[in-house]
Structure formats: structure tokens, C-alpha cells
């Protein structure tokens, strides 16, 4: 069986992380999300707490014009007066490449679809849901009033949109960037996992 890497991007509250976790368990491969923060901390010397705070956030684009493509490798960033958010992105990107090289896995977030775009066996998936369902997720999980939940969903989606565009120059959620887009408001989490497994089997990546 060929090695593969499933990179999942997700709208906030769509259940994308849960989909990735269940999918990895069913496929019998490692699952990576928050674990990447601790791995990047070990690699960079920055604290895990600091990286988590900076995770999927961007510096003020008007303050500098250095981009991910400006660096030859993670090891070269010390040569630059690099914004800490760029250092976080590069440290996590280096971890993603190491994980992808090590074997089949499922990765959530962190522009993995872009960072690993040249990786053989890469499968890219975007998980979305209706605003109503995603707001309901925020209300149930964070004990927020509906209006506050709407604000949270829109704020995090906007943050992820800006982060993705800043580091990839691509439009977040665009169907042209992904092999598969799933609406969990229609399929549910279990249905999404089943669809992805069927696709992986059809491509010869899973039994």
C-alpha cells in the first residue's frame, strides 16, 4: 500500500478535527493537530504556549513583506529579522514535512495542503458546514449566547482565511485547492469519514 498524507482544512465548528481524528483511527494511521505545536516548540526553542497563542495568526502585512517563499529552509530564518508569527509558521511547516516523510498520517490545519503540495500521496480535504450548525456547535461547546457564538464563528473563520491567504496566496476554502469538499451539515461527521474512506479505497490508498 502506498504512503499517503491526508491534509484536512476546516471551517470553525464544522467538526473537521473530529472527522480527522476518527478517520485516522479507522485507517490505523497517526493523527496530528495540536501535537504539531509541541513538536514545533522542541524544534524552534519557543514555548508551546507561545506557539499555541500565535497559531494560525498572522503579523500585520503592512509592517513587512517577507513571505514563506523568501526563506530557503527553517534553519535559515535566523539570518533574517523574522516576525515571530513567520517563525512559528516555518517551524510548524518543518514539522509537517518530517511527519509526511515518516509515513501515512492525517493532519489538520496549518496550511498542510499547501506546505505538503509536492508530497507524493497527498490528499487534500476541506470540511465545511452551515453557519447555523456551526453556531450551534459554539453555543453547545463554549456556553456562548447565540450572538456571541456567531461572532466567534465569523472571527475564527476570518482569521483562518487571512492566515491561509497570507502564507499561500490562495483563497481559503476554494474548491480548486482541494481534492474533496464535504458539508458535514449534510453528511454528519460519521458520513464524512465514510466518504473519505471510500475515496481512499478507490484510489488504492486504503483497504
CA distance 20 to 115: 18
For residue 38, give the C-alpha cell.
Answer: 509541541
For residue 127, give the C-alpha cell.
Answer: 470540511
CA distance 11 to 90: 23
CATH superfamily to which 5-195 belongs: P-loop containing nucleotide triphosphate hydrolases (3.40.50.300)
| Domain residue extents for the chain | 5-195
Query: What tens-digit pLDDT sequence spans the chain (207 residues)?
Result: 689 999 999 999 999 999 999 999 999 999 999 888 888 888 777 777 766 666 555 554 433 444 444 444 444 444 355 667 788 888 899 999 999 999 999 999 999 999 999 999 999 999 999 999 999 988 988 888 999 999 999 999 999 999 899 899 999 999 999 999 999 999 999 999 999 999 999 888 877
Amino acid at each position: 500500500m502506498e504512503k499517503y498524507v491526508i491534509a484536512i482544512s476546516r471551517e470553525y465548528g464544522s467538526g473537521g478535527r473530529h472527522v480527522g481524528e476518527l478517520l485516522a483511527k479507522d485507517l490505523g494511521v497517526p493523527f496530528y493537530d495540536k501535537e504539531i505545536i509541541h513538536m514545533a516548540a522542541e524544534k524552534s526553542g519557543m514555548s508551546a504556549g507561545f506557539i499555541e497563542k500565535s497559531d494560525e495568526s498572522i503579523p500585520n502585512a503592512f509592517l513587512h513583506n517577507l513571505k514563506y517563499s523568501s526563506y530557503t529552509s527553517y534553519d535559515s530564518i535566523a539570518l533574517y529579522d523574522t516576525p515571530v508569527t513567520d517563525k512559528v509558521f516555518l517551524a510548524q511547516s518543518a514539522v509537517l514535512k518530517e511527519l509526511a516523510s515518516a509515513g501515512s498520517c492525517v493532519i489538520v490545519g496549518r496550511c498542510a495542503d499547501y506546505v505538503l503540495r509536492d508530497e507524493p500521496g497527498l490528499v487534500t480535504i476541506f470540511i465545511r458546514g452551515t453557519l447555523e450548525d456551526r453556531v450551534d456547535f459554539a453555543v453547545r461547546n463554549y456556553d456562548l449566547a447565540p450572538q456571541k457564538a456567531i461572532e466567534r464563528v465569523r472571527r475564527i473563520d476570518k482569521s483562518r482565511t487571512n492566515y491561509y491567504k497570507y502564507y499561500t496566496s490562495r483563497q481559503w476554502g476554494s474548491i480548486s485547492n482541494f481534492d474533496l469538499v464535504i458539508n458535514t451539515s449534510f453528511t454528519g461527521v460519521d458520513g464524512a469519514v465514510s466518504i473519505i474512506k471510500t475515496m481512499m479505497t478507490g484510489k488504492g490508498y486504503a483497504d
